[in-house]
Amino acid sequence: MKKIIFLLLSAFIVIGAFAQTTKTNAKPKLVVGIVIDQMRWDYLYRFNDLYKSTGGFKRLLNEGFSCENTFVPYLPTVTACGHTCVYTGSVPAIHGITGNNWFDNNLQRMVYCVEDKTVQTVGSSSVSEGQMSPNNVFVTTITDELRLSNNFKSKVIGISLKDRGAIIPAGHAANAAYWYDAKSGNFITSTYYMQNLTGWVSQFNQKKIIDSLYGLNWNISLPKSVYEKYCDADDNAYESKPFGKEALTFPYDLSAFKGKDYSKIASTPYGNTIVAELAKQAVSAEQLGKNTVTDFLAVSFSSTDYVGHAFGPNSWELLDTYVRLDETLGNFFDYLDKTVGKNQYTVFLTADHAGAHVPEFLQKHNLPGGRWDDGEIKKDLNEFAKQQFGQSNLIAAVAEHDVYINHPLLDSLKLDAKNVLQTISNYLLKKDIVLNVVDKKHAAEAAIPSKIKEMVINGYNPQRSGDLQIIVKTGVMDAGKTGMSHGVWNPYDSHIPLLFYGFGIKQGNLTKETYMTDIAATIAALLHIQMPSGSIGKVIGEAIK
């Protein structure tokens, strides 16, 4: 009898231990990372009454976990840096992506963030559009670490209109990344991933859904009174005109672009529609979430950025884009419920950066704001340098508020670098739009608030950053003559949404300050895998069950 009792107790212990191990090691079938390009945090609440109860944003807010004070911890706050930070948990000083474009101090030329001339386009006859890869990223991504954790059994796919929005999140070891070629209207990839376009993507391209969407044109989806309540006038001189100089207000006739101009779709809500449809096709065709291990789908919605740049945060166009995106996300989550299983997948939603109000809109309401232009600043500084040092090309580049000195020329002329930098700084400080100028190499010694100082330091990489960081005054942006932009330290550019939802996620919210760098660390903790190789983020433990 004692022997039977002993055996039964042993069996219960083994079963209990097994159950505990199974619970501890439980993982979602699929992780879906969503980046909404240029989404300000306050859009979650500013437009909340307009979002549907069945839409994506209210599902995430009501059933998921919202980090209400998440910030970008570096400069510049632009697309490539944001996507890299989200997926690496790192900052430009470490991961190397210091802008959408930068002047490479070793190569002595401008470099695009995902350019790679060693690979070729797959999926269209366009040449340069497909010469892209993640090779400029110095560190691993959370998607790389997932693949590493199970001997590359996980499937990882990245999808976006923008090449950088698909390539960087998917990581170095991805199965595929697909982005939009505006010349052909096709989603393409590069030989970095494959020699021939995947069959299901080719079939998707052949449907030419874009022409069907153009045929719908673009009109407001809510009563006119709603836009009048939430927005500035429909027609403003400060807005850009992406659909032609005569296309000033709703409704926009898009039918003329069918079969002719596939670039215009990006500046409409339909750009988000086709990305969501391709994402659904990826889930179905690749059987994501049906694997023996966790799969990962990285989706970046770019049309919000194109619309934001053209029309600004207070436009009818932007409001309409977010209302439609809310419905698109709701439909996407419903699709995942049916295919992967409700509560069987985990979602995080965030932004790569936020965005400022249009300067002229601010000025109309007696708020500070202004414009500047990189090209004009470079020209002005070189003219000043000629007066001071006898050389007109001492400034190699001005990009993302960085001033790059032509060091080979500086050395050949035997000029004192410290004196040149100080002289240029003093000149810039006389400009009405400039708040401060920081010598990036010595940023730790700068007499500026610690928050800004840390962001400058986090954004500085000696090979790819400029010598001087220009800190502009509030509301000033590099945005041409119309529209708006982003890139600075201020909360309107750096305060982003961060929501978690689904498997392993609590319901609730957190008001303490968190950072973009914390996302990858949190997903790593959820998946019980190593965080990316350059990660400096912390796990947001409050979000995990």
pTM for this one?
Answer: 0.95
Q: Would you place residue 381 in the very low, low, confident or very high pLDDT band (cuts 50, 70, 90)?
A: very high
Q: How far apart are CA 366 and CA 364, in angstroms?
A: 6
Contact 526, 346 (CB under 8 A): yes
pLDDT for residue 392: 87
Give 261-310 pLDDT, tens digit per residue: 999 999 999 999 999 999 999 999 999 999 999 999 999 999 999 999 99
pLDDT for residue 295: 98
- Helix segments in 286-415, DSSP class H: 303-311, 316-336, 359-364, 374-389, 407-412
pLDDT for residue 9: 47
Q: Is the pLDDT of residue 32 over 50?
A: yes
What is the identity of the amino acid at 171? G
Give 503-533 pLDDT, tens digit per residue: 999 999 999 999 999 999 999 999 999 999 9
Q: Residues spanned by CATH 3.30.1360.150 within the chain? A: 370-474
Q: Is the pLDDT of residue 5 over 50?
A: no
Q: How far apart are CA 330 and CA 203, in angstroms?
A: 25
Q: Give the fold, CATH level 3, of 30-356+499-543.
A: Alkaline Phosphatase, subunit A (3.40.720)
Give 54-106 pLDDT, tens digit per residue: 999 999 999 999 999 999 999 999 999 999 999 999 999 999 999 999 999 99
Q: Residues spanned by CATH 3.40.720.10 within the chain? A: 30-356+499-543
Average pLDDT value for residue range 42-56:
98
Contact 34, 299 (CB under 8 A): yes
Give 178-198 pLDDT, tens digit per residue: 999 999 999 999 999 999 999
Q: If you count DSSP H runs as helices and E runs as strands, how many of each does the chain have, helices first?
A: 20, 19
Contact 38, 351 (CB under 8 A): yes
Q: Is the pLDDT of residue 462 over 50?
A: yes
Contact 189, 197 (CB under 8 A): yes
**Which residues, in sequence order, are CB contacts of 480 under 8 Å at separation 6+?**
371, 373
Catalytic residues: 79
pLDDT for residue 471: 97
Q: Would you place residue 480 in the very low, low, confident or very high pLDDT band (cuts 50, 70, 90)?
A: confident
pLDDT for residue 532: 98
Average pLDDT value for residue range 425-454:
97
Whole-number average pLDDT of the chain: 95
* 15's tokens: 């079963």
Q: Would you place residue 15 in the very low, low, confident or very high pLDDT band (cuts 50, 70, 90)?
A: very low
C-alpha angle 144/149/154, rounded to 5°?
Answer: 70
Give 200-259 pLDDT, tens digit per residue: 999 999 999 999 999 999 999 999 999 999 999 999 999 999 999 999 999 999 999 999
pLDDT for residue 294: 98
Residue-wise burial string across 381-411, b where 16 or more C-beta atoms lie within 10 A, e elsewhere: bbebbeeebebeebbbbbbbbbbbbbeeebe
Average pLDDT value for residue range 133-140:
98
SS3 350: strand
pLDDT for residue 24: 52
What is the DSSP secondary-structure string of 431-459? STTEEEEEEGGGGGG-SS-HHHHHHHHHT
Q: Is the pLDDT of residue 17 over 80?
A: no
- Cβ–Cβ contacts within 10 Å for residue 1, how many? 5
pLDDT for residue 479: 86
Residue 260: name the closest of 215, 218, 216, 211 by CA. Answer: 211
Question: The domain 370-474 is classified under which CATH number: 3.30.1360.150, 3.90.1150.10, 3.30.830.10, 3.40.50.1220?
Answer: 3.30.1360.150
